[in-house]
Amino acid sequence: MWERILTILRKEFRSVLRDPRMRMVIIGVPIIQTLIFGYAVTLDVRHVQLAVIDHDGTPASRDLVARFTGSAYFDAIAHTQDEEAARALVDAGRAAAILQINAGYEENLRSGRTTPVQLIVDGSDSNTARYIVNYGTQIAAGANGAILLEQAQRRAGRTIAVGRAEVQPRAWFNADLESRNFYVPGIIALLVMLIGLMLTSMAIVREKEAGTIEQIMVTPIRPVEFILGSTAPFIVIGFLNTALVAGL
């Protein structure tokens, strides 16, 4: 039994090494797909294209804009007073969000009144839109804290030391919280599985096309031996692919 399995196994290895198409599938496809998914595709949202409409034009409004553009999440691509022009940027796909600050923003803050700031988001990509809303909310919360402290100091006429709770996050196993570190290992396993199935099917189809499958069927080899001998080489190749792709 084992001699027959080893004979088929050696035959499959020779066939793989002689066939340039098989070599391309074994080596080229895993590398290309890993590079695409690992470096070109990402779920992390950074440098969102932002159009700014600042109708107030005061130090307070400029400070809020600076908080947005000074972060790693937003890049201001246009400053305009024309709301239609800003919407046109979103329609054209040049901007993913609009930050609109209405007139009276600073005056309302100094008077202790709540003043709305509008963040218009392109919702065609719901995942990115959720990230943008969360980033904007966090930045606005930071600005609100600074405003409250400034108002308290102004009323007290002196510098006030304010204690606060500071969260110090520690991420294990993925310190940078990059999405590729999460899904690339799964992609590697998926590629190895698919390539193993694909190569096995290609090997059997090749036998059928060459007319040798009938010759194998009339030999004393049993179906289980044929299956084991045909799949074992590609299991080994799958593990080698895993090592190759993981090294990237």
Given 106, 123, 156, the domain boundary residue is 156
Same domain, 21 and 78: no
Amino acid letter at 247?
G
**pLDDT, position 164:** 59
Q: Answer whether residue 170 is part of any domain.
A: no
Q: Which of 108, 80, 112 is nearest to 95 (CA)?
A: 80
Could you tell me if 98 and 133 are in contact, meaning their C-beta atoms sit under 8 angstroms apart?
no
Amino acid letter at 241?
N
Which of residues 164 and 157 earns the better pLDDT score? 157
- CATH classification of the domain holding 147: 3.40.1710.10
Q: Answer whether residue 161 is part of any domain.
A: no
Mean pLDDT along residues 218-231: 76
Mean pLDDT along residues 142-160: 72
Per the structure, the count of domains in the chain is 2
Go through the chain and tell me how many residues it has.
Answer: 248
Mean pLDDT along residues 112-140: 90
Same domain, 80 and 141: yes
In sequence order, what are the beta bridge partners of 50?
76, 97
Which strands make up the sheet holding 97-101, listed edge to edge?
Answer: 74-79, 48-54, 97-101, 117-121
**pLDDT, position 8:** 76
Q: Answer whether residue 162 is part of any domain.
A: no
> What is the pLDDT confidence band of residue 166, given thresholds at 50, 70 and 90?
low
Q: Answer whether residue 151 is part of any domain.
A: yes
Report how far residue 133's alpha carbon sits from residue 139's, in angstroms, rounded to the nearest whole number.
Answer: 10
**pLDDT, position 137:** 92
**pLDDT, position 161:** 61
Mean pLDDT along residues 104-121: 87
Could you tell me if 192 and 242 are in contact, meaning their C-beta atoms sit under 8 angstroms apart?
yes
Q: Answer whether residue 174 is part of any domain.
A: no
Q: Answer whether residue 125 is part of any domain.
A: yes
Mean pLDDT along residues 186-212: 76
Q: Answer whether residue 115 is part of any domain.
A: yes
Whether the per-residue pLDDT at 101 is higher than 90: the answer is yes
**pLDDT, position 133:** 93
Q: In the structure encoding, which two tokens stand for residue 113, read together?
A: 């009144």
Whether the per-residue pLDDT at 147 is higher than 70: the answer is yes
* Domain with 53 in it: 48-156
Q: Answer whether residue 171 is part of any domain.
A: no
SS3 per-residue string spanning the chain: CHHHHHHHHHHHHHHHHHCHHHHHHHHHHHHHHHHHHHHHCCCCCCCEEEEEEECCCCHHHHHHHHHHHCCCCEEEEEECCCHHHHHHHHHCCCCCEEEEECCCHHHHHHCCCCCCEEEEECCCCHHHHHHHHHHHHHHHHHHHHHHHHHHHHHHHCCCCCCCCCCCCCCCCCCCCCCCHHHHHHHHHHHHHHHHHHHHHHHHHHHHHHHCHHHHHHCCCCCHHHHHHHHHHHHHHHHHHHHHHHHCC
Could you tell me if 16 and 64 are in contact, meaning their C-beta atoms sit under 8 angstroms apart?
no
Report how far residue 98's alpha carbon sits from residue 83's, in angstroms, rounded to the nearest whole number.
Answer: 9
